[in-house]
């Protein structure tokens, strides 16, 4: 064990090695843009890009649905009946729910 420390001590006495070690420790842990924060930001960016793709697909589907509802009166009536339980004045609605 003594031999390894004696070999390592001349390297640790070099001012360039010390400056380089301090620089790496500073950049890895202490800087405002340190490596740990950058990894967390990269993960957050990836998550946000996935969310963006999901929302773009959702917007495309909803836009197609809106266009369909605007152009076809029968589809609009079907949508209103299914989603909002709307009815005509002379109709009654019965909701049947099945339990698993």
Give the domain ranges of the chain.
Answer: 1-31, 32-87
HSE on the CB side for 41, CA within 13 Å? 7
Confidence band (pLDDT; 50, 70, 90) for 25?
confident
CB 34 within 8 A of CB 28: yes
Instruction: Give pTM, 2 decimals.
Output: 0.54
Q: Report the alpha-carbon distance of residue 61 to residue 49 in Å, rounded.
A: 19
Tell whether the model's pLDDT for residue 1 goes beyond 60: no
Q: Report the alpha-carbon distance of residue 42 to residue 38 in Å, rounded.
A: 6
pLDDT > 90 fraction of the chain, expressed in percent and rounded: 28
Confidence band (pLDDT; 50, 70, 90) for 55?
very high
Average pLDDT over residues 35-42: 89
């Amino acid at each position: 064990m003594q031999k390894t420390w004696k070999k390592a001590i001349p390297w640790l006495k070099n001012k360039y090695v010390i400056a380089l070690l301090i620089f790496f420790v500073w950049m890895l842990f202490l800087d405002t843009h340190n490596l740990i924060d950058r990894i967390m930001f990269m993960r957050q960016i990836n998550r946000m890009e996935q969310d963006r793709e999901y929302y773009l697909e959702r917007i495309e589907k909803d836009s197609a649905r809106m266009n369909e509802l605007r152009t076809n009166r029968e589809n609009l009536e079907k949508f209103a009946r299914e989603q909002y339980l709307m009815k005509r004045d002379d109709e009654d609605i019965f909701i049947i729910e099945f339990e698993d």
